[in-house]
Amino acid sequence: MNRRVLVVRLDNMGDVLLAGPCVRAVAAGAGSVVMLAGPHGARAAELLPGVDRVYSWRAPWIDLEPPRVTRPMILELSERLRRLRCDAALILTSFHQSPLPTAMVLRMAGIPWIGAVSEDYPGSLLDLRHRVPDDIPEPERALGLARAAGFDLPEGDHGGLKVRRPLPDVTPLVGGEPYTVVHPGASVPARQMTPERSARLVAALTGAGHRIVVTGAPGDAVLTRQVAGEHGLDLGGRTDLPQLASVLAGARAVVAPNTGPAHLAAAVGTPVVSLFAPVVPAERWAPYRVPHVLLGDRTAACRDSRARQCPVPGHPCLDGIPDAEVIRAVAELTSAEDAVSNRMESVA
């Protein structure tokens, strides 16, 4: 088919990466795929196989630092989208987000067919109002919408997360010796260990024999410097997104909270020790289809609260994770990876 399909995911990097299986399904049945992403997710959209063009827009009803809604901003977006002449659109949202404001803008842009998951009555805003069960993984929520719209993954694609290859060579950044990544930051403070606790964890992992590389966004430079200390290699702010993907791909394991780089690690096939605060359900947001170990108090008082700042003194759900548990989880994942590599080498 020569249809041009717009796929919309307007929030963060991790959310966009989790949309990857849906995007590949759409690409398998459409002539081209345009992705509309938020400013925090646009770079991740450029990494997704199947995406032909990416547009960035900050949605006042999605972004965590929303701009004011103004008539000119809505008209400007609808005109940009009208010029694309898309034949259909799929709006991807999380369970707590409504697709209907976005659908209104797409109708103004003249897009003739729109589908979304929606609990709210959409009237004529949606042509496909899809329903999904609660507590399914986000990639399956999005892929279910694509399938309901008549798209499916091509033969041989088993629905995991992926990024475009090849990735850049990052040997000058990380060196040639095996390493484990610790990514301490998250967009939501309640989902990360405190800096002091992360620094102690890096020291403990180093003491257990691991060479630690600490990663972070440019805005995390102070955090990563503190966390790396004298024990880890600090790459905070020194990588763009493809380089970060390559650093994660080269790691034996990644230790990270529930954040975009944990999903990026899953997309490049690296095992993840997930330091998972229960403010959102792990059933939806755990690393997808990659070996992983979930650590953290899943019964903490903040459970399912979607809190941005930890409401419990001492941040016990994450800061209370013993070093020994993390070290054991890293050993478990890397031992399994080594066993797989040895089997593959013996077969070769």
> The tokens of 206 are what?
């180093």
Q: Give me the number of domains the chain comprises.
A: 2
Among residues 79, 42, 81, 37, the alpha carbon closest in space to that of 59 is found at 37
Instruction: Let me know whether 137 and 183 are in one domain.
Output: no
Residue 22 pLDDT more than 60? yes
Residue 210 located in a structural domain: yes
Q: How confident is the model at residue 346 (pLDDT cuts 50, 70, 90)?
A: very low
Q: How confident is the model at residue 64 (pLDDT cuts 50, 70, 90)?
A: confident
Instruction: Let me know whether 107 and 224 are in one domain.
Output: no
C-alpha dist (Å) from residue 160 to 244, 263, 265 = 19, 11, 12
Instruction: Let me know whether 177 and 142 are in one domain.
Output: no
> The tokens of 104 are what?
């209104």
- If phi > 0 it is left, if psi is from -120 to 50 it is alpha, else beta; for residue 110 that is left
Instruction: Let me know whether 213 and 318 are in one domain.
Output: yes
At 29 the pLDDT is 97
Residue 213 located in a structural domain: yes
C-alpha dist (Å) from residue 55 to 46, 110, 126, 284 = 10, 17, 22, 26
Distance in angstroms (rounded) separating the CA atoms of residues 177 and 347: 25
Instruction: Let me know whether 177 and 221 are in one domain.
Output: yes
Q: Which residues 6+ apart lie within 8 Å of 324 measured at CB? A: none
At 339 the pLDDT is 54
Is the omega angle on the peptide bond into residue 166 within 30 degrees of 0, that is, cis? Answer: yes
Question: What does the pLDDT look like over 136-191, one tens digit per residue?
Answer: 999 999 999 999 999 999 999 999 999 999 999 999 999 999 999 999 999 889 99
Distance in angstroms (rounded) separating the CA atoms of residues 228 and 223: 9
For 293, the domain range is 171-347
At 79 the pLDDT is 97
Residue 340 pLDDT more than 60? no
Distance in angstroms (rounded) separating the CA atoms of residues 245 and 241: 6
Hey, is 176 helix, strand or coil?
A: coil
Residue 304 pLDDT more than 90? no
Q: Mark which of 148, 163, 195 sits at the end of a domain.
A: 148
Among residues 152, 141, 177, 182, the alpha carbon closest in space to that of 274 is found at 182
Question: What does the pLDDT look like over 195-249, one tens digit per residue?
Answer: 999 999 999 999 999 999 999 998 999 999 999 999 999 999 999 999 999 999 9
Q: What is the rounded average pLDDT of the residues 265-283?
A: 96
Question: What does the pLDDT look like over 251-265, one tens digit per residue?
Answer: 999 999 999 999 999
Task: Report percent pLDDT > 70 for the chain.
Answer: 96
Instruction: Let me know whether 141 and 203 are in one domain.
Output: no
Instruction: Let me know whether 342 and 267 are in one domain.
Output: yes
How is 204-269 classified by DSSP, letter by letter? HHHHTT--EEE---GGGHHHHHHHHTTTSEE-TT---HHHHHHHHHHSS-EEEESSHHHHHHHHTT
Residue 214's domain is classified under what CATH number? 3.40.50.2000
Instruction: Let me know whether 21 and 112 are in one domain.
Output: yes
The amino acid at residue 238 is R
Residue 162 located in a structural domain: no
Instruction: Let me know whether 330 and 182 are in one domain.
Output: yes
Residue 157 located in a structural domain: no
Instruction: Let me know whether 180 and 267 are in one domain.
Output: yes
Q: What is the rounded average pLDDT of the residues 79-89?
A: 97
- Whether this prediction's pTM lies above 0.85 is answered by yes
Hey, is 82 helix, strand or coil?
A: helix
For 2, phi and psi rounded to 5 degrees? -105, 15
Residue 60 pLDDT more than 80? yes
At 298 the pLDDT is 85
> The tokens of 222 are what?
């102070």
Residue 14 pLDDT more than 60? yes
Burial class (CB in 10 A: 0-12, 13-18, 19+), 96: exposed
Q: How confident is the model at residue 1 (pLDDT cuts 50, 70, 90)?
A: low
Residue 342 pLDDT more than 80? no
Residue 60 located in a structural domain: yes
Q: What is the rounded average pLDDT of the residues 43-53?
A: 98
Question: What does the pLDDT look like over 93-128, one tens digit per residue?
Answer: 998 899 999 999 999 999 999 999 999 999 999 999
Instruction: Let me know whether 343 and 265 are in one domain.
Output: yes
Instruction: Let me know whether 342 and 198 are in one domain.
Output: yes
Residue 159 located in a structural domain: no
Please answer whether residues 83 and 102 qualify as being in contact, where contact means their C-beta atoms are separated by less than 8 angstroms: no
Distance in angstroms (rounded) separating the CA atoms of residues 334 and 293: 11
At 344 the pLDDT is 44
Task: Report the mean per-residue pLDDT for the chain.
Answer: 94
Strands 180-182 and 128-130: what pairing? Answer: unpaired
Residue 158 located in a structural domain: no
Question: What does the pLDDT look like over 313-322, one tens digit per residue?
Answer: 889 999 999 9
Q: What is the rounded average pLDDT of the residues 300-308?
A: 87
Residue 164 located in a structural domain: no
